[in-house]
A and B are shown apart, each in its own frame.
Chain A
Protein backbone atom coordinates (compact mmCIF):
# COMPACT_ATOMS: atom_id res chain seq x y z
CA UNK A 1 0.00 0.00 0.00
CA UNK A 2 1.36 3.38 -0.93
CA UNK A 3 -0.49 5.16 1.84
CA UNK A 4 1.03 4.19 5.13
CA UNK A 5 -1.01 5.95 7.78
CA UNK A 6 -3.89 8.33 8.37
CA UNK A 7 -4.24 10.30 11.60
CA UNK A 8 -6.96 12.71 12.72
CA UNK A 9 -6.04 15.23 15.41
CA UNK A 10 -8.62 17.26 17.28
CA UNK A 11 -8.44 20.91 18.29
CA UNK A 12 -6.78 20.18 21.61
CA UNK A 13 -4.06 18.22 19.85
CA UNK A 14 -5.32 14.79 20.88
CA UNK A 15 -5.26 11.91 18.44
CA UNK A 16 -8.83 10.84 17.75
CA UNK A 17 -8.28 8.44 14.90
CA UNK A 18 -5.42 6.34 13.65
CA UNK A 19 -5.08 3.96 10.75
CA UNK A 20 -1.77 2.27 10.03
CA UNK A 21 -1.39 0.02 7.04
CA UNK A 22 2.14 -0.46 5.97
CA UNK A 23 2.97 -3.20 3.57
CA UNK A 24 6.34 -3.10 1.88
CA UNK A 25 6.04 -2.42 -1.79
CA UNK A 26 7.03 -5.34 -3.94
CA UNK A 27 10.33 -4.38 -5.45
CA UNK A 28 12.41 -6.52 -7.70
CA UNK A 29 15.94 -5.97 -8.76
CA UNK A 30 17.15 -7.69 -11.89
CA UNK A 31 20.13 -7.42 -14.11
CA UNK A 32 19.47 -7.07 -17.78
CA UNK A 33 21.68 -6.84 -20.72
CA UNK A 34 20.89 -5.22 -23.98
CA UNK A 35 18.41 -5.82 -25.62
CA UNK A 36 15.88 -5.67 -22.74
CA UNK A 37 13.26 -8.39 -22.62
CA UNK A 38 10.73 -5.89 -21.37
CA UNK A 39 8.65 -3.45 -23.31
CA UNK A 40 8.61 -0.17 -21.44
CA UNK A 41 6.42 2.82 -22.02
CA UNK A 42 6.19 6.32 -20.63
CA UNK A 43 2.94 7.03 -18.79
CA UNK A 44 2.41 10.28 -16.90
CA UNK A 45 6.04 10.92 -16.09
CA UNK A 46 6.71 7.33 -15.09
CA UNK A 47 8.34 4.49 -16.95
CA UNK A 48 6.09 1.43 -16.73
CA UNK A 49 6.38 -2.15 -17.86
CA UNK A 50 3.91 -2.73 -20.70
CA UNK A 51 4.87 -6.27 -21.72
CA UNK A 52 7.28 -8.96 -20.69
CA UNK A 53 6.23 -10.21 -17.29
CA UNK A 54 8.86 -12.36 -15.63
CA UNK A 55 10.56 -13.09 -12.32
CA UNK A 56 8.47 -10.91 -10.10
CA UNK A 57 8.33 -8.04 -12.53
CA UNK A 58 4.78 -7.66 -13.64
CA UNK A 59 2.94 -5.50 -16.10
CA UNK A 60 2.25 -2.13 -14.52
CA UNK A 61 5.38 -2.04 -12.38
CA UNK A 62 7.29 1.20 -12.56
CA UNK A 63 11.02 1.50 -13.11
CA UNK A 64 12.47 3.01 -9.96
CA UNK A 65 16.16 3.09 -10.66
CA UNK A 66 18.69 2.18 -13.28
CA UNK A 67 22.14 1.12 -12.12
CA UNK A 68 21.34 2.47 -8.71
CA UNK A 69 20.33 5.92 -9.93
CA UNK A 70 16.85 7.05 -9.12
CA UNK A 71 14.71 7.48 -12.22
CA UNK A 72 11.98 9.78 -10.94
CA UNK A 73 13.30 13.27 -10.57
CA UNK A 74 11.39 16.07 -8.97
CA UNK A 75 8.33 15.87 -6.76
CA UNK A 76 5.52 18.39 -6.88
CA UNK A 77 4.84 20.22 -3.68
CA UNK A 78 1.52 18.89 -2.48
CA UNK A 79 -0.74 19.45 0.46
CA UNK A 80 -1.20 22.32 2.81
CA UNK A 81 1.83 21.37 4.82
CA UNK A 82 4.30 18.72 4.04
CA UNK A 83 7.31 16.96 5.37
CA UNK A 84 9.39 14.83 3.08
CA UNK A 85 11.98 12.19 3.79
CA UNK A 86 13.33 9.58 1.45
CA UNK A 87 11.01 6.88 2.72
CA UNK A 88 7.78 8.81 3.18
CA UNK A 89 5.97 12.10 2.69
CA UNK A 90 3.84 13.52 5.49
CA UNK A 91 0.90 15.67 4.42
CA UNK A 92 -1.22 17.69 6.79
CA UNK A 93 -4.47 19.51 6.21
CA UNK A 94 -5.78 21.81 8.91
CA UNK A 95 -9.41 22.84 8.68
CA UNK A 96 -10.74 26.25 9.65
CA UNK A 97 -12.20 24.62 12.75
CA UNK A 98 -8.85 23.35 13.94
CA UNK A 99 -9.11 19.65 13.09
CA UNK A 100 -5.96 18.26 11.50
CA UNK A 101 -5.81 15.39 9.03
CA UNK A 102 -2.40 13.81 8.64
CA UNK A 103 -1.48 11.32 5.94
CA UNK A 104 1.81 9.45 5.64
CA UNK A 105 2.37 8.20 2.13
CA UNK A 106 4.93 7.00 -0.32
CA UNK A 107 6.85 9.98 -1.72
CA UNK A 108 5.72 8.99 -5.20
CA UNK A 109 2.05 8.85 -4.33
CA UNK A 110 0.11 11.58 -6.10
CA UNK A 111 -3.26 13.10 -5.32
CA UNK A 112 -2.83 13.38 -1.56
CA UNK A 113 -4.35 16.86 -1.55
CA UNK A 114 -7.64 15.62 -2.90
CA UNK A 115 -7.41 12.59 -0.62
CA UNK A 116 -7.15 14.91 2.39
CA UNK A 117 -10.25 16.79 1.26
CA UNK A 118 -12.04 13.49 0.74
CA UNK A 119 -11.11 12.37 4.26
CA UNK A 120 -12.54 15.67 5.53
CA UNK A 121 -15.80 14.92 3.73
CA UNK A 122 -15.89 11.39 5.11
CA UNK A 123 -15.25 12.75 8.60
CA UNK A 124 -18.08 15.26 8.26
CA UNK A 125 -20.40 12.56 6.93
CA UNK A 126 -19.78 9.51 9.03
CA UNK A 127 -18.32 10.84 12.24
CA UNK A 128 -20.09 14.16 12.70
CA UNK A 129 -23.48 13.16 11.42
CA UNK A 130 -23.54 10.18 13.73
CA UNK A 131 -25.73 11.50 16.56
CA UNK A 132 -23.95 9.34 19.10
CA UNK A 133 -20.48 10.57 18.30
CA UNK A 134 -19.27 13.35 20.61
CA UNK A 135 -17.04 16.01 19.13
CA UNK A 136 -13.33 15.87 19.89
CA UNK A 137 -13.63 12.28 21.15
CA UNK A 138 -11.91 9.26 19.58
CA UNK A 139 -13.71 8.20 16.44
CA UNK A 140 -15.13 4.71 16.78
CA UNK A 141 -17.54 4.67 13.86
CA UNK A 142 -17.62 1.59 11.68
CA UNK A 143 -18.89 3.53 8.67
CA UNK A 144 -16.06 6.03 8.97
CA UNK A 145 -13.50 3.17 8.95
CA UNK A 146 -15.06 1.51 5.95
CA UNK A 147 -15.40 4.61 3.86
CA UNK A 148 -11.93 5.79 4.74
CA UNK A 149 -10.39 2.50 3.63
CA UNK A 150 -12.35 2.70 0.40
CA UNK A 151 -11.10 6.22 -0.22
CA UNK A 152 -7.51 5.11 0.40
CA UNK A 153 -7.88 2.34 -2.13
CA UNK A 154 -9.27 4.71 -4.72
CA UNK A 155 -6.47 7.19 -4.10
CA UNK A 156 -3.82 4.54 -4.43
CA UNK A 157 -5.25 3.26 -7.68
CA UNK A 158 -5.42 6.76 -9.07
CA UNK A 159 -1.94 7.66 -7.91
CA UNK A 160 -0.10 4.57 -9.14
CA UNK A 161 -1.30 3.28 -12.41
CA UNK A 162 -0.61 1.18 -15.40
CA UNK A 163 -2.33 -1.55 -17.33
CA UNK A 164 -3.42 -4.46 -15.27
CA UNK A 165 -2.28 -3.10 -11.88
Chain B
Protein backbone atom coordinates (compact mmCIF):
# COMPACT_ATOMS: atom_id res chain seq x y z
CA UNK B 1 0.00 0.00 0.00
CA UNK B 2 1.69 3.14 -1.26
CA UNK B 3 -0.65 5.69 0.27
CA UNK B 4 1.38 6.34 3.38
CA UNK B 5 4.47 6.90 1.27
CA UNK B 6 2.69 9.23 -1.16
CA UNK B 7 1.13 11.20 1.70
CA UNK B 8 4.46 11.44 3.51
CA UNK B 9 6.06 12.79 0.35
CA UNK B 10 3.28 15.32 -0.01
CA UNK B 11 3.66 16.44 3.59
CA UNK B 12 7.38 16.81 3.02
CA UNK B 13 6.93 19.05 -0.01
CA UNK B 14 4.25 21.08 1.75
CA UNK B 15 6.53 21.65 4.72
CA UNK B 16 9.43 22.66 2.48
CA UNK B 17 7.13 25.17 0.80
CA UNK B 18 6.39 26.66 4.20
CA UNK B 19 10.08 26.77 5.10
CA UNK B 20 11.38 28.26 1.85
CA UNK B 21 9.84 31.15 -0.07
CA UNK B 22 11.61 30.61 -3.37
CA UNK B 23 10.70 27.68 -5.61
CA UNK B 24 14.36 27.21 -6.55
CA UNK B 25 15.21 26.66 -2.88
CA UNK B 26 12.56 24.01 -2.45
CA UNK B 27 13.68 22.33 -5.66
CA UNK B 28 17.28 22.42 -4.56
CA UNK B 29 16.45 20.96 -1.16
CA UNK B 30 14.41 18.16 -2.67
CA UNK B 31 17.29 17.39 -5.00
CA UNK B 32 19.73 17.34 -2.10
CA UNK B 33 17.55 15.01 -0.07
CA UNK B 34 17.08 12.80 -3.09
CA UNK B 35 20.82 12.67 -3.58
CA UNK B 36 21.29 11.35 -0.05
CA UNK B 37 18.64 8.71 -0.66
CA UNK B 38 20.10 7.76 -4.06
CA UNK B 39 23.57 7.12 -2.71
CA UNK B 40 22.14 4.54 -0.34
CA UNK B 41 19.37 3.15 -2.49
CA UNK B 42 21.77 2.18 -5.25
CA UNK B 43 23.40 -0.49 -3.05
CA UNK B 44 20.02 -1.93 -2.15
CA UNK B 45 19.15 -1.95 -5.85
CA UNK B 46 22.41 -3.62 -6.88
CA UNK B 47 22.17 -6.17 -4.06
CA UNK B 48 18.65 -7.19 -4.95
CA UNK B 49 18.51 -6.92 -8.68
CA UNK B 50 21.83 -8.64 -9.53
CA UNK B 51 22.37 -6.46 -12.58
CA UNK B 52 25.86 -6.74 -13.96
CA UNK B 53 28.25 -4.16 -15.31
CA UNK B 54 26.72 -2.03 -18.07
CA UNK B 55 28.55 -1.27 -21.28
CA UNK B 56 26.74 1.78 -22.53
CA UNK B 57 24.70 4.71 -21.30
CA UNK B 58 21.59 3.42 -22.99
CA UNK B 59 21.93 0.11 -21.17
CA UNK B 60 22.09 2.00 -17.90
CA UNK B 61 19.02 4.08 -18.73
CA UNK B 62 17.10 0.96 -19.71
CA UNK B 63 17.94 -0.64 -16.39
CA UNK B 64 16.88 2.48 -14.50
CA UNK B 65 13.58 2.58 -16.33
CA UNK B 66 12.72 -1.09 -16.47
CA UNK B 67 14.22 -2.47 -13.27
CA UNK B 68 14.75 0.33 -10.77
CA UNK B 69 11.58 2.32 -11.36
CA UNK B 70 9.61 -0.92 -11.43
CA UNK B 71 11.15 -2.07 -8.17
CA UNK B 72 10.67 1.09 -6.21
CA UNK B 73 7.69 2.86 -7.72
CA UNK B 74 5.92 0.11 -9.61
CA UNK B 75 6.01 2.00 -12.91
CA UNK B 76 8.03 1.58 -16.10
CA UNK B 77 8.80 4.86 -17.84
CA UNK B 78 9.62 4.76 -21.50
CA UNK B 79 13.05 5.79 -22.69
CA UNK B 80 14.11 8.08 -25.50
CA UNK B 81 17.56 9.17 -26.59
CA UNK B 82 17.81 12.85 -27.24
CA UNK B 83 21.04 13.32 -29.08
CA UNK B 84 23.35 11.60 -31.50
CA UNK B 85 26.29 11.41 -29.14
CA UNK B 86 24.10 9.15 -27.03
CA UNK B 87 24.64 10.79 -23.70
CA UNK B 88 21.30 12.60 -23.29
CA UNK B 89 18.22 10.58 -22.50
CA UNK B 90 14.68 11.10 -21.30
CA UNK B 91 12.42 9.03 -19.12
CA UNK B 92 8.76 9.61 -19.97
CA UNK B 93 6.46 8.89 -17.07
CA UNK B 94 2.90 8.13 -18.09
CA UNK B 95 1.88 7.48 -14.55
CA UNK B 96 3.49 8.97 -11.47
CA UNK B 97 2.37 7.59 -8.11
CA UNK B 98 3.89 10.49 -6.21
CA UNK B 99 1.42 12.97 -7.67
CA UNK B 100 -1.65 10.76 -7.36
CA UNK B 101 -3.38 13.11 -4.98
CA UNK B 102 -2.03 16.40 -6.31
CA UNK B 103 -4.40 18.40 -8.49
CA UNK B 104 -2.25 21.31 -9.39
CA UNK B 105 0.57 23.42 -8.05
CA UNK B 106 -0.51 26.18 -5.69
CA UNK B 107 -0.59 29.77 -6.94
CA UNK B 108 2.80 31.37 -6.73
CA UNK B 109 4.56 28.02 -6.92
CA UNK B 110 4.61 27.65 -10.66
CA UNK B 111 8.24 26.64 -10.95
CA UNK B 112 8.11 24.07 -8.19
CA UNK B 113 9.36 20.68 -9.32
CA UNK B 114 7.18 18.57 -7.10
CA UNK B 115 9.04 15.31 -7.77
CA UNK B 116 12.52 16.74 -7.71
CA UNK B 117 13.41 14.15 -5.10
CA UNK B 118 13.45 11.63 -7.95
CA UNK B 119 16.04 13.67 -9.83
CA UNK B 120 18.27 13.74 -6.79
CA UNK B 121 17.86 10.00 -6.28
CA UNK B 122 18.89 9.21 -9.84
CA UNK B 123 21.83 11.62 -9.67
CA UNK B 124 23.04 10.17 -6.33
CA UNK B 125 22.69 6.61 -7.49
CA UNK B 126 24.62 7.23 -10.70
CA UNK B 127 27.37 9.01 -8.86
CA UNK B 128 27.93 6.00 -6.62
CA UNK B 129 28.69 3.90 -9.69
CA UNK B 130 31.05 6.62 -10.84
CA UNK B 131 28.85 8.28 -13.44
CA UNK B 132 28.34 12.02 -13.25
CA UNK B 133 24.99 13.12 -14.61
CA UNK B 134 22.66 16.09 -14.72
CA UNK B 135 19.09 15.10 -13.96
CA UNK B 136 16.21 17.54 -14.31
CA UNK B 137 12.54 17.67 -15.17
CA UNK B 138 12.09 18.65 -18.80
CA UNK B 139 8.33 18.46 -18.76
CA UNK B 140 5.92 18.21 -15.86
CA UNK B 141 2.23 17.33 -16.00
CA UNK B 142 1.67 19.45 -12.91
CA UNK B 143 2.90 22.47 -14.85
CA UNK B 144 0.53 21.88 -17.71
CA UNK B 145 2.66 19.74 -19.99
CA UNK B 146 1.20 16.64 -21.55
CA UNK B 147 3.65 14.23 -19.97
CA UNK B 148 6.21 14.18 -17.21
CA UNK B 149 9.69 13.91 -18.62
CA UNK B 150 12.95 13.48 -16.68
CA UNK B 151 16.06 14.37 -18.65
CA UNK B 152 19.34 12.61 -17.83
CA UNK B 153 22.56 13.92 -19.34
CA UNK B 154 25.70 11.95 -18.71
CA UNK B 155 28.73 14.11 -18.12
CA UNK B 156 32.30 13.01 -18.62
CA UNK B 157 33.02 9.89 -16.56
CA UNK B 158 35.48 10.24 -13.75
CA UNK B 159 38.11 7.56 -13.19
CA UNK B 160 37.05 5.78 -16.34
CA UNK B 161 40.25 3.76 -16.61
CA UNK B 162 40.12 2.58 -13.04
CA UNK B 163 36.76 0.94 -13.44
CA UNK B 164 37.14 -0.34 -16.96
CA UNK B 165 40.14 -2.38 -15.94
CA UNK B 166 38.32 -5.16 -14.18
CA UNK B 167 40.05 -8.49 -14.38
Q: Which size bracket describes the interface of B in this complex? A: 10 to 19
In this complex, which of A97, A117, A121, A125 has the most chain B Cβ atoms within 10 angstroms of its Cβ? A97
What is the bound-complex CA distance between A121 and B45, given in angstroms? 9
What is the bound-complex CA distance between A1 and B43, given in angstroms? 29
What is the bound-complex CA distance between A96 and B43, given in angstroms? 9
> Does B7 make an interface contact (CB < 8 A)?
no
> Does B47 make an interface contact (CB < 8 A)?
yes
Contact assessment for A124 and B129 in the assembled complex, using a CB-CB cutoff below 8 Å? no
> Does B42 make an interface contact (CB < 8 A)?
yes
Knowing A117-B47, A120-B47, A121-B48, the reply to whether A128 touches B40 (Cβ < 8 A) is: yes
Contacts of A128 in B (CB 8 A): 40, 43-44
Interface residue SS majority, chain B: helix
Contacts of B161 in A (CB 8 A): none
Interface residue ranges of B29-50 to A (CB < 8 Å): 39-40, 42-44, 46-48, 50
What is the bound-complex CA distance between A120 and B130, given in angstroms? 19
B residues contacting A by CB (< 8 A) are 39-40, 42-44, 46-48, 50, 53, 128-130
Render A10-54 as a binary contact track against B, CB cut-off 8 A, 1 for contact: 000000000000000000000000000000000000000000000
What is the bound-complex CA distance between A80 and B112, given in angstroms? 46
What is the bound-complex CA distance between A120 and B42, given in angstroms? 12
What is the bound-complex CA distance between A87 and B43, given in angstroms? 32
> Does A71 make an interface contact (CB < 8 A)?
no
What is the bound-complex CA distance between A135 and B39, given in angstroms? 9
Contacts A97-B46, A97-B128, A124-B47 aside, 8 further interface pairs with beta carbons under 8 A come to A117-B50, A120-B43, A121-B47, A124-B40, A124-B46, A125-B44, A128-B40, A129-B44
What is the bound-complex CA distance between A125 and B40, given in angstroms? 9
What is the bound-complex CA distance between A97 and B45, given in angstroms? 11
What is the bound-complex CA distance between A99 and B47, given in angstroms? 12
Contact assessment for A129 and B129 in the assembled complex, using a CB-CB cutoff below 8 Å? no
Contacts of B47 in A (CB 8 A): 95, 117, 120-121, 123-124
Render A117-137 as a binary contact track against B, CB cut-off 8 A, 1 for contact: 100110111001100000100
Contact assessment for A96 and B39 in the assembled complex, using a CB-CB cutoff below 8 Å? no
